Structure 1
Amino acid sequence: MRLLVTGGRTGYLGRHVVRRALDAGLDVVAVGSLDADLRDAAAVEGLVARHRPDAIVHTAYVQADWAVTATGAAHVATSAARHGARLVLVSSDVVFSGADGRYDESAPPDPITAYGAAKAAAETTALAVCPDVVVARTSLILGDGDSQHERLVHQLVATGSGALFEDERRCPVHVEDLADALVELAGSDRQGVIHVAGADPMSRFALGRLIARRDGLDPGALRATTRAAAKVAGPVDVRLDSTVASRVLTTRLRGATEFLS
């Protein structure tokens, strides 16, 4: 199987997907922004036509750029459909407001941030135009020591400034578990939405303490705050229910308590 991975050159998740796919013996094409501007439909079409992948894992996004995150995903989905390629679209738990707390695949998106709205739009378009698509919603991605979450904890401990939200609950996932799950989904016949997140709901503050303890730092150096106190908009309680993934995938999605121990 030839697998095309957007964000596969420099993206944090994309690079891991490329590595795990190569380990699985797949023919992998890693592409980045220098290969095609996702905002340009003709450029995306040319990329897919040139490489003729059997499947595409779309990890690329720019959080503050609707044109990349939403419109770019639409271009990828349209080209995948035109060339008969399977699409694995990586989405996020931020498509939800957090009002309901726990979310399974049947929950309708109700984003409250621009990034969440862009991800929800990407999902809607992909599901509408691509016959063979699976939307993989996930949560905070970390685990190898090089994620933005892990680097932030080191910075906070070193500087003694800043704080982590103690009121926001998410389901952190190990980047390699997620990459393995995405590669597995690319080779499966699963369609529609599936939640692919870690097993343990926890706050960013609790997550930070686990990271600090694993890395030999002082967890007591971290300070806690809330979204309201920090005046930062965003969902507070978004716990993805990944029961379906645990049933249909061979990849085991560990909780942060386990993979950061």
Structure 2
Amino acid sequence: MRVLVVGGSGFLGSEVCRRGVRAGFSVVGTFHSGSVGVPGVAGRRLDVTDRAAVRALVAQVRPDTVVATPYRYDDWTVTADGAAHVALAAAEVGARLVHLSSDALHGGRPTPYADDDPPSPVNAYGAAKAAAETAVRALDPGAALVRTSLILGEGSKQIELCRDALAGRAVLFTDEFRCPIDVGDLADAVLELACSSYAGLLNVAGPDAVSRAELGLLVAGRFGLDPAGLKTTTAAAAGVVRPSDVRLDSARAAGLLRTRLRGVREILA
């Protein structure tokens, strides 16, 4: 199977590339600058905001599956328009599409979000992810859309943020809850979906909900860091407008996939 990983130089994208090669797939990964840097992966430079360039690359590669992971937190054209361009190009060549979405499109509530719950964004990034989903579903009804949460792994932004907070260089919120997932578990789930016919929305996140502050303490325990230096506050006190309590119910994914989605306490044990 030939797999095109759009955003192959990113944290998740590079892990999908590595595991795709390990599974025996022919993998092409895209990057905007630099390189993919994964042995066995053919790297291609791509600007996802350029619709003609996206269509030309996909037509040239002729992938069986496209895995779309690119985003830029503060850039609507990458997150929303880029997703639409990739979905259009994949549909034109009849490729299977797995689109990576986010729990950030929800606004937060005390009860978990089901797979099919509609978006309720409270900031621009969440709105861009919601718009991306709308475009993908309209252009390719057969696509799988994966809503995930904080992605963990050595070198991940989430782990580094926790390290910074433990060193007093950043702050973690006690009132912001997520369901973190290991990057390897997520990459395996994505590749499994790439080989399936599942269509529509699917929550793929860990089973444990923790606050960002709790995550910081777990990181301290995992890496032998002093938890006493952890800086915490609340999102409300910091004046930050972003989703608060966003727990994804991933029961459907757990029953559908062979990949076991581990909880954050097991990941950081």
Q: Note closer, same or farther for the CA distance 1:74–1:100 as it changes in structure 2 (3 Å cut).
A: farther
| CA shift for structure 1 position 100 | 5.2
Residue 184 of structure 1: aligned partner: 192
State the partner residue of 1:127: 137
Alignment-mate amino acid for residue 82 of structure 1:
E
Q: 1:217 — aligned with what?
A: 225
CA positional deviation for 1:105 = 1.2
Structure 2 partner of 1:36? 46
Confirm whether residue 208 of structure 1 aligns to residue 232 of structure 2. Answer: no
CA distance in 2 between counterparts of 1:173 and 1:101 reads 19
Cα deviation, 1:192-236, whole Å, max 9, x if unaligned, reads 000000110010000011011100101221022110111111111
- Which residue of structure 2 lines up, in the alignment, with residue 107 of structure 1? 117
- In the alignment, structure 2 segments of 5+ residues that lack a partner are 34-44
Runs of at least 4 residues of structure 1 off by over 4 A?
Answer: none
Partner of 1:182: helix, strand, or coil?
A: helix
Instruction: Give the letter aligned to residue 174 of structure 1.
Output: D
CA–CA separation in structure 2 for the residues paired with 1:218 and 1:181:
34
Q: Secondary structure at the match of 2:247?
A: strand
Report matched runs for 1:22-171 at 5 Å. 22-34=21-33, 35-99=45-109, 101-143=111-153, 145-158=154-167, 160-171=168-179
Question: 2: CA distance between counterparts of 1:104 and 1:65?
Answer: 27
3-state SS, counterpart of residue 199 of structure 1: coil
Q: Which runs of 5+ in 1 are unaligned?
A: none
Which piece of structure 1 moves more, 89-98 or 125-134? 125-134
Cα distance in 1 for residues equivalent to 2:251 and 2:104: 19
Report if the CA contact (8 A) 2:164-2:170 is conserved.
Answer: no
AA in 2 matched with 1:206: E
Q: Number of aligned pairs?
A: 258
AA aligned opposite 2:6: T
**Do the aligned residues in 2 keep the contact of 1:113 with 1:233 (CA within 8 Å)?**
yes
Aligned residues of 2:2 and 2:26 also touching (Cα < 8 A)? yes
TM-score by length of 2: 0.94
CA distance in 1, matches of 2:120, 2:210: 21
